[in-house]
Amino acid sequence: MLDAMAERYGILPSKLIQTADTFDLMVMDVALTYRQYRESKQSNQPVDQSVYNEEDLLEKLEKYK
């Protein structure tokens, strides 16, 4: 993942290790997941729903309400 992040940000991996934090990891994860979602949608492949647990989402919704 460090290599992918360094390539995306255009910096050396050693510089990334010095300056990156967990927020950068989260942003990278979201960006890659969204890219995969778009590619699946464009190629008319079913979107992978395994990352979503419907019961957990419903529980969180109820807590929010």
In whole angstroms, what is the distance from residue 21 CA to residue 8 CA? 15
Per-residue pLDDT of the chain (65 residues; tens, 9 = 90+): 788 888 888 999 999 899 988 998 898 888 888 888 888 888 887 776 776 778 888 998 899 88
Q: Which distant-in-sequence residues (6+ apart) come within 8 Å of 18 by Cβ?
A: none
What is the structure's pLDDT at 33? 85
What is the structure's pLDDT at 55? 86
pTM for this prediction: 0.61
| Helix intervals (H) in 1-65 | 2-9, 13-19, 22-42, 54-64
What is the structure's pLDDT at 14? 92
Question: Which of 47, 15, 20 is closest to 34 using CA atoms?
Answer: 47
In whole angstroms, what is the distance from residue 17 CA to residue 22 CA? 11
